[in-house]
Amino acid sequence: MANQTNPSDRAAARKNRTRRGGRVSMLSYMKGYRLPCLLAPTFKLLEALLELLVPLVVARIIDVGIAEGDLSFVLKNCLILLALGAIGLGFSVTAQYFAAKAAVGYAGAVRHALFAHIQTLSYPDLDAAGSSALITRMTSDSLTLQNGVNLGLRLLLRSPFVVFGAMIMAFTVDAGAASIFVLVIPLLFAAVFAVMLPSLPLYRRVQGKLDRVLAATREDLSGVRVVRAFRREKDEIREFERENDALAGMQKFVGRIAALLNPVTYILINGAILLLLYTGALKIDAGSLTQGQLVALYNYMSQILVELIKLASLIISVTRAAASGSRIRAVLETSPSMTYGEEELPPGDGPAPAVVFSEVSLTYPGAGAPALSGISFTAAAGETIGVLGGTGSGKSSLVRLIGRFYDVTGGQVSLFGKDVKRYTKNALRRAVAIAPQKATLFSGTLRENLGRGDPCADDGEMLAALAVAQAKDFVLEKGGLDLPVGQGGRNLSGGQKQRLTVARALLRKARILILDDSSSALDYATDAAMRESLRKSLSGVTTFLVSQRAASVMHADRIIVLDEGRAVGIGRHEELLRNCPVYREIYETQFSSGKEAGV
């Protein structure tokens, strides 16, 4: 299926890269949310300013209203407290709104850019990154980043402002007692950072172990039928428990470190409160401090305690967000390993052959042995080429090179007289349509799935493609082109999914059609009918039929027989029966029981 990445998405992904070695600034995604990023902390600081005034009002109520028995003064100042609370609540809600708007918008922009960038990566890049890791970046990491930004906008300025503001206000009440604040605040900050700084690399390790748990879960769910068929449930459960226990153990370890923060800060704060009360009692006894002022100092100390608890939570969230942000940035900074040329396809009536393989070899990254070695053949325009071999012989690897889903590690692949590396990506995707080995459908309607082959195709063209793929009858029985399709086509059988993917590939109207074992789930009669229909309708289209069945390729113009990544025979059916032992063995094995006779 052709890559349908929006060009604007690719441009956006490229735009987010700076000129210095492809580094990406995560702050660049805040563009468009600068005003909410400014307003959120501004309203939080206004709320904090009102909060700092509360202890002074309470002190006046105690020292003036209660001490002198002035009830009207008490009521008046209580109304002032209510007004401060109501206005502060309004500021807080407003700040929360802007912080949430900026955080959600920022995370959305990051996910959008990440998804767009992933669409530009080549197959080898996706293989190296791993699907589970990319899913984690799109979900867990982006959500952690969103929460970190939200808390940061609300508390990053507010908490230090309240802490130091409380200390300054304490000096306006009584400079001697306020010296306790000067002593305890640096100790509190030292304790907070001493506990939290070692957590940063540990949170990165936690996210890495989360990747492994997600990978194990995804593998088990995608292969659940195979696991049950071979009765390996207990082994898979043990493997999952091992990965899950490793994640839980790391989370507990980090949690124990983070859990030290509250008791340490409580000890320091409560020790400071005891010292403050003792010093204040002596000053009250000496007449240099009033009871209201001592209550104000106590309230300021309590405010510091609350804000430091918030600051600790903020540091935890920001630490995790920084770890997640670095993981997302690492993906965004991954440059596509494939670069494309600038040439378009030559006219369809040119004299050059459609496909030429010249001593082609392919070794996948990290593989111990080559998947293909020394493959050479020529496919003329309009010719049907069969590719036959056992499991692991390199059939899918060979046809993947035609559309340049992977790059050769030796030799050259040419399309219409030119190296595939000279064409643009869009030119290659227009030239080559593929029905992949694993039939993949998307949630939605059948019309939407077929539209991925050709978005401009009308209902008549779709029904014609379905007829060629032997899928029209069951589609009409199930409700036509508006047939709902579940995720992955789970509401369809394997053979139905394969025929629909063939129809989608046909709608592409490409000059090269690859059917990569796309009839393996079909019965022999349906397979034969589809091949005959394809032969009649694909005039001028170069077709590659990949299969493990000799009956599926025996009528092809030429057959390439693969064994352990090498072409052990190339020719027509009759020639290979005489000259290729591997082909003859496959043919005789499959026809010995007579199951395929007459196909």
If pLDDT is split at 50, 70 and 90, which confidence band does 22 have? low
pLDDT of residue 349: 64
Least confident range of 196-200, 211-215, 389-393, 452-456: 196-200
Q: pLDDT for 462-495, tens place per residue?
A: 999 999 999 998 999 888 899 999 888 888 888 8
- Of 369 and 22, the structure prediction assigns the larger pLDDT to 369
Q: Looking at 13-22, 131-140, 363-372, 493-502, which range is the least confident one? A: 13-22
Residue 432's H or E segment, with its range, is strand 432-435
Sheet with 432-435, side-by-side order of all strands: 432-435, 512-516, 542-547, 384-389, 558-563, 566-571
For the chain, give the mean pLDDT: 85
Q: Is the pLDDT of residue 535 over 60?
A: yes
d(CA 5, CA 12): 12
Q: What's residue 159's pLDDT?
A: 85
Phi, psi of 444 (to 5 degrees): 140, -145
pLDDT at 439: 86
What is the tens place of the pLDDT at every residue in 76-135? 989 999 999 999 999 999 999 999 999 999 999 999 999 999 988 888 888 888 887 888
The model's confidence at residue 450, banded by pLDDT at 50, 70 and 90, is very high
Is the model more confident about 324 or about 350? 324
% of the chain beyond a pLDDT of 70 = 95
Q: Flag whether pLDDT at 339 surpasses 60.
A: yes
- The interaxial angle of helices 261-286 and 175-196, nearest 10 deg, is 170
Do 567 and 374 meet the contact criterion of CB atoms below 8 Å apart? yes
Q: What's the mean pLDDT in 251-273?
A: 81
Specify the domain boundaries for CATH 1.20.1560.10 within the chain.
26-332
Measured in degrees and rounded to the nearest 5, phi and psi for residue 380 equal: -75, 160
5 to each of 10, 12, 119, 426, how far by Cα in Å? 7, 12, 6, 10
Decide: 357 and 411 in contact? Cβ < 8 Å.
Answer: yes
Band of the pLDDT at 276, cuts 50, 70, 90? Answer: confident
Which residues pair with residue 362 across a beta bridge?
372
Candidate ranges 293-307, 404-418, 522-536; pick with highest mean pLDDT: 404-418
Residue 242 has pLDDT above 70, yes or no: yes
What does the block give as tokens for 84? 């401060």
For the beta sheet containing 355-362, the strands, ordered from the edge strand earlier in sequence to the opposite edge, are 372-379, 355-362, 410-415, 418-419
Counting Cα atoms < 13 Å in the Cβ hemisphere of 105 gives 17
Check if the beta carbon of residue 476 is closer than 8 Å to that of residue 459: no
Q: Which of the residue ranges 133-147, 186-200, 398-412 would you say has the lowest mean pLDDT?
A: 186-200
Report pTM.
0.74
pLDDT bracket for residue 19 (50, 70, 90): very low
Higher pLDDT, 23 or 282: 282
Res 408: pLDDT: 93
Least confident range from 160-174, 307-321, 507-521, 536-550: namely: 307-321
pLDDT digits (tens, 9 = 90+) for 500-516: 999 999 998 899 999 98
Q: Are 339 and 172 in contact (CB under 8 A)?
A: no
Question: Which token pair is 24?
Answer: 């990406």
C-alpha span between 585 and 592 (Å, rounded): 10
| pLDDT score for 379 | 93
Give the residue range(s) of CATH 3.40.50.300 domains in the chain: 355-591
As a CATH number, domain 26-332 is: 1.20.1560.10
R_g of the chain, CA atoms, integer Å: 35
- pLDDT exceeds 60 at position 277: yes
DSSP classification of residue 346: P
* Alpha-carbon span 28 to 237, nearest angstrom: 43
Q: What is the pLDDT of residue 202?
A: 80
Handedness of CA 574, 575, 578, 581 (dihedral sign): negative
Fold of 355-591: Rossmann fold (3.40.50)
Measured distance CA(565)–CA(589) in Å, rounded: 21
Q: What is the largest CA-CA distance in the chain?
A: 118
Model confidence at 598, in pLDDT bands (50, 70, 90)? very low
Average pLDDT over residues 60-87: 88
pLDDT of residue 17: 43
